[in-house]
Amino acid sequence: MLQSATPTGRPAARRRATRLLGLALILLTLALALPAGASAAAGWFTQRSGYWSDATLRGVAFSDATHGWVVGDDGVILATTDGGATWIAQSSGATAQLKAVAFSDATHGWAVGGSYDQATQISTGAILATTDGGATWIAQTSGTTGDLNAVAFTDATHGWVVGDDGVILATTNGGATWSAQSSGSNWRDLDAVAFTDATHGWAVGYGAILATTDGGATWREQYSGDDPWLLGVAFSDATHGWAVGDVGTVLATTNGGATWREQDSGSSKYLQAVAFTDATHGWAVGGDEGPTVILATTNGGATWGAQRSGSDSWLQAVAFTDATHGWAVGSGGVILATTDGGGPRVPARYKVTPPAVPHRVRAGTQIESWGRVRPALKAGSRIVVFWDHYIGGRWQMVRARQPADSYRNVFGSTKYSVRMVFAAGKWRVRAEAADVISASRVFTAY
């Protein structure tokens, strides 16, 4: 038996060894093919930016799935030609805080932000441009004071920039010259801009959505209100669009902005930016205190769910080239990437909105404000509101209390109100319900 078993056992052992060797070679090949910093797991992974700093990366743009750029504090510009497997610093020649970047193709790009002069205490709008993929960047003249916050180009010549104090600039020659357009909203900052072609565009800011159908020759207000503060906007075509902002706000339109409706994001955090690749696939990113926020939808925002990133950075910008390849950047020099659309979505159980306190209130007078919890709370649930006062360079909790009025269940949600008198100074308010803590709302009593 031993003599007959030995010859047949050796080939079997050799076959097992060959299979194991083949499997090892396959795994090694897959590992080498993954971008640096990636793992074989689905979802979001960290890419090595080479920018080890506490400063923040604020803008990201990709012209295709391989060519991308990131901008941030201290004039930093990073570029990749391999989808983020490697990132290389480019010389911007600037120390400005760069807030946004846009590329119309792999060679023509623009970055915008602001430079603050300590001596004059004046911030000047900064615009940088490149025609060689970022090998060289040159400064363009903005002629504005205040920061420039966002930029959009539809081709290598037609572009728009928005910024503080309602500033809108436009160019038809790639930025060789920039001309001011009248936003009709000079009293509030504009934080994001999106164009689907050379005529149809939208800009958003504090409590406002502005739109144009003639390339910015005229802008009109589509949405107005004291709340919310809108920070990001995206359109997949001339009719389908989304705007995001503080306390988890998502607004959507299917008619080019003639009407906007609120979508339930399932989050109470700041949403800083939004991206859609078509009318159904979209992502919104942001943060506040606690883990990074990445929300995703596959049905145009009818339902949103959270995606796990393994990061605690406050994300500032997001870009997708198709429904699977995307990047997000934020505080601490973080760059996150995904090759499968970010992985599964985890629907949030509750969304808690803090009281809608105005940004400025008169000290010494009682105000009443309303907040909301979605979906409606079960009987016996408690809501607690936290008031923090900024004293001595830090936040100090002054009071934690239950709302003064009883809760009211309205349209599948629970509304609550609070009454409070404030001393002069800087304040913030948060709310907690069903073990979920809302984002903070900051305001000033004067």
Residue 445: both structure tokens together: 């009593």
Segments making up each domain of the chain, as ranges: 44-338, 351-445
Residues of the chain with pLDDT under 50: 1-15, 17-18, 20-41
User: What CATH number matches the domain at 44-338, 2.130.10.10, 2.160.10.10, 3.40.50.300, 3.40.50.10470?
Assistant: 2.130.10.10
Tell me the C-alpha to C-alpha distance, in Å, between residue 73 and each of 97, 115, 316.
4, 10, 12
22 phi, psi to nearest 5 deg:
-65, -40
Residue 142: both structure tokens together: 């903005």
The answer to whether the pTM exceeds 0.75 is: no
Beta bridge partners of 72: 57
Q: How does pLDDT run across 264-306, given as a tens digit for each residue?
A: 887 878 899 999 999 999 999 998 766 789 999 999 998 888 8
Per-residue confidence (pLDDT) for residue 393, from 0 to 100:
74
Per-residue confidence (pLDDT) for residue 406, from 0 to 100:
66
Q: Which CATH superfamily is domain 351-445 in?
A: Immunoglobulins (2.60.40.10)
Residue 327: both structure tokens together: 């990047």
Per-residue confidence (pLDDT) for residue 186, from 0 to 100:
76
Angle (CA) 91 94 97, round 5°? 115
Residue 275: both structure tokens together: 């991206």
251 phi, psi to nearest 5 deg:
-110, 145
Residue 116: both structure tokens together: 């603050």
CA dist 385 and 379 (Å) reads 18
Residues 6 or more apart from 110 whose CB is under 8 A from it?
101, 102, 103, 127, 128, 129, 130, 140, 151, 153, 159, 161, 175
Tell me the C-alpha to C-alpha distance, in Å, between residue 93 and each of 137, 166, 416.
7, 27, 52
Per-residue confidence (pLDDT) for residue 412, from 0 to 100:
82
Cα torsion angle, 46, 50, 54, 60, sign: negative
